[in-house]
Homo-oligomer: A and B are copies of this chain.
Amino acid sequence: MRGKQRYYCKSCDYHFTIGDENTPQEPKRHHEVTIMDIARQLGISKSTVSRALRGHTDIHEGTRQMILDLAKELDYEPNPLANALLKRRTNIIGMLVPEFRHYFFPTIIMGAQAVLSKAGYNLMIFQSDESYETEVANVKALLRSRVDGLLVSITGKTENFDHFRTVLQKEVPVVFFNRVCPELDTPQVIIDDYSGAFQAVEHLIEQGYRRIAHLAGPSILQIARLRMQGYVDALQKHGLPMDESLIVYHDLTEENARLCARHLLDLPQPPEAIFAVNDPSALEVLLLAKKRGIKVPQDLGIVGFSNDPVSAIIEPSLSTVEQPVWEIGEQSAQLLLEQLEQPRLETKVLKTRLIVRDSSRRRG
């Protein structure tokens, strides 16, 4: 069996036998080692090889060893394409994020990747760049690629969810994280945005700020609505009036955040403090205030959301609401893996924590 003449094609890493049959079969033009090669050399069937490699039970121990040895010697790698075609499983997870310039989504991706690669899945990442059309196109592309599941954080402009309905119709599981979809029954990973925002605004009130503005996100996003609600309720709890003119919505792009910051500081009666929906936009406020010589925190208090690393090193350092970013990735991936086993609805809510820094501390 094992003693046959084996040849090795150096240029392309291909092993083959000559005189196996009486036909001196020459090496095929392009050779990837397949289970058929192993079977031929061992004079057995491909079924047997497949079973041995797969660790199936009813295989003679000697035969299995022969196969395993030869497979290692030939450096055999199973072809995932053939497998995927047969099993309708690519072992690829699609991930869709709005952007990854800042630290937030990259970190989530890393968390997800850690979990998924341990489970034998690879990641295909797309970014919608806050464009609804791109998001739809990306979902389509992901579906075309036959990914096994989807990890999604939607854009700030996504109002129509038909593209995700298509996904669910094809029985491809979807887990939303951070920016979730409220009208679809899918598992989600979110944080307690409401209480995070509430704490942040209450903290500002405690520091003596009264006219507190909110640089909000697009109200179609749940995170934006919840943070807004936290803001509103905190004001109300402390008997402060809510001034509509102090609420300004932005679409989560950098330029737009800059515009909104200017709008707020240009107000005839500018706010004493600003609670921003995320750190990048809070940062825009902070930078503009610095440029104009507005004293932070004395004349303007600022609190952001998410604890971007920049917030700690900017001067004055930015108060913010920390959220477990890496863990969001992990949990989302974990949830998706469970969906792949058995679909069931589940929402994970992670905790936030207020980090008070210099941008909002003007007492004790």
> Which residues of A does B touch, CB under 8 Å?
12-13, 30, 32, 77, 79-82, 84-85, 88, 90, 92, 100-101, 103, 106-107, 109-110, 113, 117, 122-127, 141, 143-146, 169-171, 283, 287, 310, 313-315
Question: How many Å lie between the Cα of A92 and that of B100 in the bound state?
Answer: 20
CB proximity of A324 to chain B, nearest CB, Å? 16
- Which residues from chain B contact A32 at a C-beta distance below 8 Å? 88
17 contacts between A and B (CB under 8 A): A12-B169, A13-B170, A79-B85, A80-B145, A81-B84, A81-B85, A81-B146, A85-B85, A92-B124, A101-B103, A110-B127, A117-B141, A122-B124, A122-B141, A123-B124, A124-B124, A314-B315
Complex contacts, A12 vs chain B, CB 8 Å = 169-171
Distance in angstroms between the alpha carbons of A7 and B315 in the assembled complex: 66
A170 to B313, CA, bound (A): 47
Q: Do B127 and A125 touch (CB < 8 A)? A: no
A33 to chain B, nearest CB (A): 11
List chain B residues, Cβ under 8 A from A287.
313
Task: Out of B141, B169, B283, name the residue touching A13 (CB < 8 Å).
Answer: B169
Collect the chain B residues with CB atoms within 8 Å of residue A92's CB. Answer: 124
* The 8 residue pairs across chains A and B that have the minimum distance between CB atoms: A81-B85, A315-B315, A100-B106, A81-B84, A13-B169, A310-B310, A82-B85, A125-B125
Give 7 A-B pairs besides A123-B124, A313-B314 with Cβ atoms closer than 8 angstroms.
A12-B170, A13-B170, A79-B146, A85-B85, A100-B109, A100-B110, A110-B127
